[in-house]
């Protein structure tokens, strides 16, 4: 996340460490860290090779990958610039133009300016009038929290935002504060393959890897919501997802595309 003295991202320096024993760091140049597949990922604004090597020696870990990346190349080369969909303009926190939602995109997977996230937000806006007033929402794979904040801006009375990535949960909380919707959004860190939050809501937003979506499709407790907006997959992955749907899924309402990404809309509304 952005912390003083930093007000935006330029180059980022990533270090992948084999091991989970490194504690939280208090370093002014640290953007964030998280654990993934028994590995620790550290991301900084400046090179920190010496620091990382000392940490590995101290905690018995091994550095196996490092990279120096332009921030705009972090997520498939998509530049982080303001965009407008329907009634909502979304901008990064460093942009000074008027905006309805301001986001620190950080370095979490699926930042708020990725095409699949925009596609989900556009789809939500198109179905929002059918959800009624003060609807409830569930955002699975919340990333930056953009979709959760979008739900709140569009009238949700409560939203549960879920991510496995600890940094994503921190970023979502901070972005909720930026947009003064922290009382509407409850953030939970969960492994969805082990624990599924209550899906008995008006709308489930799930922008997830296709293999995780397929696992969720096989769980009867996933199918309790009125409306599902599902994304995070490409055309070659749709057949796998179709095969994973239950025998009697909710009605297939629509399918949209943006930059090779797909979104499905299912529901009974």
Each residue of 137-168: pLDDT tens digit?
999 999 999 999 999 999 999 999 999 999 99
pLDDT at 219: 95
Q: What is the fold of 83-267?
A: Rossmann fold (3.40.50)
Buried-exposed string 30-49: b where 16+ CB fall within 10 A, e elsewhere: bbbbbbeeebbbbbbbeebe
Identify the CA nearest to 177 among candidates 151, 149, 138. Answer: 149
Asked if the bond preceding 5 is cis, omega within 30° of 0, the reply is: yes
**Residues 137, 131: Cα–Cα separation, whole Å:** 10
pLDDT at 194: 95
**Residues 247, 135: Cα–Cα separation, whole Å:** 28
Give the three-state DSSP class for 91: strand
pLDDT at 76: 67
Per-residue pLDDT tens over the stretch 47-100 = 999 999 999 999 999 999 999 999 988 866 677 899 999 999 999 999 999 999
pLDDT at 51: 95
**Residues 114, 137: Cα–Cα separation, whole Å:** 21
- Length of the chain measured in residues: 269
What average pLDDT does range 193-203 have in this prediction?
A: 96
CA 12 to chain CA centroid, Å, is 19
């Amino acid at each position: 996340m952005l912390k003083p003295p930093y007000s935006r991202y330029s180059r980022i320096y990533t270090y992948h460490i084999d091991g989970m024993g490194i504690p939280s760091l208090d370093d002014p140049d640290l953007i964030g860290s998280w654990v993934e597949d028994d590995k620790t990922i550290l991301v900084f604004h400046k090179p920190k090779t010496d620091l990382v090597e000392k940490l590995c020696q101290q905690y018995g870990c091994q550095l196996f990958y490092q990279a120096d990346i332009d921030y705009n190349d972090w997520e498939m080369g998509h530049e982080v610039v303001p965009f407008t969909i329907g009634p909502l303009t979304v901008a990064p926190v460093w942009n000074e133009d008027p905006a309805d939602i301001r986001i620190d995109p950080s370095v979490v997977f699926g930042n708020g300016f990725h095409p699949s996230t925009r596609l989900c937000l556009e789809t939500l806006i198109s179905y929002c009038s059918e959800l009624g007033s003060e609807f409830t929402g569930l955002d699975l794979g919340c990333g930056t929290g953009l979709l959760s904040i979008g739900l709140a801006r569009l009238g949700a009375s409560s939203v549960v935002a879920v991510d496995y990535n600890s940094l994503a949960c921190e970023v979502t909380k901070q972005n909720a504060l930026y947009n003064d919707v922290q009382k509407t959004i409850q953030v939970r860190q969960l492994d969805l393959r082990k624990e599924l939050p209550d899906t008995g809501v008006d709308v489930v937003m799930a922008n997830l890897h296709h293999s995780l979506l397929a696992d969720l499709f096989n769980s009867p407790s996933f199918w309790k919501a009125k409306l599902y907006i599902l994304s995070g997959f490409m055309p070659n992955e749709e057949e796998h997802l179709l095969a994973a749907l239950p025998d009697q899924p909710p009605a297939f309402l629509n399918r949209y595309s943006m930059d090779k990404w797909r979104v499905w809309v299912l529901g009974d509304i």
